[in-house]
Amino acid sequence: MSTQPALVLVEPGKTEVRQIDIPTPEPDEVLLQVNRVGFCGGDLNGFRGLFELQEYPNVLGHEVGATILEVGSQVPDQLKPGMNVTLNPYLNCGTCLSCRKGRPNACQDNKTMGVRRPGAMTKFISVPWQKLHASSQLSVRELALVEPLTVGFHAVDRGRVVAGEKVAVIGCGIVGMGAVAAAVNRGAEVIAIDIDDAKMQIAKLAGAAHTINTTKVDLHETLQAITDGDGPDVIIEAVGNPATYRAAVDEVAYTGRVVYIGYAKKPVDYNTGTFVRKEIEILGSRNCLGDFPDVISYLESGKFPVDAVISREVSLAEAGAALADWSANPGPITKIMVNLDNESSR
């Protein structure tokens, strides 16, 4: 069996390019040539040793833009060699309560590629056809952005955002950017909040009506001014920091909704009277649920600032160093993408 290079997260703080086997597709699988893989905030936390689900060593990568090379004998006709696709990297158990309730994104034994099973940061992977989403209009680069954007789209769905509402998104990394885009797409007036001006510029390109840099102006006063003293109808937290967790409930309007996507790494102190007095809803949001087609058609509309979001493109050989750089200096980076097109072929 021939082998191919893959980026392996060996242990916290250490990556290596190692040779792995080139897979042979099963009858219900599709062999993909991987063209682009994005680095995720989850990869960053795995690299930092801060992601409790991360297994080591493991091939990284779950944000994939690929081309179909071969299809197994049981794969339906609509998937054909040459098509550009992305994939759903989650694998739910099918039997836990969440799965039985039709909420596989909250599966109690979910295994995401690159986290609890081998990822896609290599040249060829084989995937069950049911996991694929194709687009005849999107480039492999755009397709690699679909999965991270679905996470923000799902959060906006959880928050039941409707046209005309004022929606604040705290944190404008790629996940927050997906929430900005999804809320704008629903006709909301979006307030993007971050500590980095470059990210907020991108949020504006994605349609945010207002931006707030909390290192320069007071969050509370600025939100009050934008919302005529009411506070935002919905606040989506995409940072995972105790201070932003608290700010979300403190700043949301009476009867508003708070959606948490970020994982706070420390316990958060709340004045719980706020929950009751304002009668707010507090919602968790995990991965995505049926959001792939929505994100694909949104990207096909051409409204998303793809080029501005991709901060850097690197080769597989440079990928480990790029992840270490990102870890050392996360501020201005939205998305690092690994370009595998020039890796040696089979």
Q: Which residues bind Zn ion (CB under 5 A)?
A: 40, 92-93, 96, 99, 107, 148
Residue 138 Cβ vs Zn ion, minimum distance, rounded to whole Å: 17
29 in Cβ contact with 127 (< 8 Å): yes
b/e map 252-271, b = 16+ CB within 10 Å:
bbeebbbbbbbebeeeeeee
Q: Is the Cβ of residue 35 or residue 211 nearer to Zn ion in the bound state?
A: 35
Q: How far is the CB of 211 from Zn ion (least distance, A)?
A: 24
**Sign of CA pseudo-dihedral 215, 222, 169, 308:** negative
The smaller minimum CB distance to Zn ion, of residues 40 and 316, is found at 40
Contact between 73 and 61 (Cβ < 8 Å)? no
Q: Least distance from C-beta 252 to Zn ion, angstroms?
A: 26
Kindly state the smallest distance separating residue 207's Cβ from Zn ion, in Å: 22
Retrieve residue 245's tokens. 């967790």
DSSP string, 185-214: HTT-EEEEEES-HHHHHHHHHTT-SEEEET
Q: Which residues pair with 29 in a beta bridge?
A: 128
The closest alpha carbon to 112, from 167, 150, 70, 76, belongs to 150
Q: How far is the CB of 313 from Zn ion (least distance, A)?
A: 17
What does the alpha-carbon distance between residue 125 and residue 42 come to, in Å, rounded to a whole number?
20
Report the residue number, 15 or 92, with the smaller CB distance to Zn ion.
92
β-bridge mates for residue 11, sequence order: 14
Q: Alpha carbon of 175 to those of 62, 199, 227, 345: distances in Å?
A: 14, 12, 24, 32
Q: Which is nearer to Zn ion, 120 or 203 (CB)?
A: 120
Cβ-based nearer residue to Zn ion, 54 or 222: 54
Closer residue to Zn ion, CB minimum distance, 146 or 280: 146
At 266, phi and psi to the nearest 5?
Answer: -130, 160
> Which residue of the chain is nearest Zn ion when measured via CB?
40
Closest CB to Zn ion among residues 95, 255 = 95
Question: Rounded CA gap, 126 and 209, in Å?
Answer: 42
* Min CB(44)–Zn ion separation in Å: 10
- The CB-of-149 to Zn ion minimum distance in angstroms stands at 10
Q: How far is the CB of 286 from Zn ion (least distance, A)?
A: 12
Which is nearer to Zn ion, 120 or 188 (by Cβ)? 120
Smaller CB separation from Zn ion, 178 or 231:
178
In 3-state terms, what secondary structure has residue 83?
Answer: coil
Give the CA distances from residue 324 to residues 47, 53, 134, 182, 287, in Å, rounded to whole numbers and listed in that order. Answer: 8, 20, 32, 30, 25
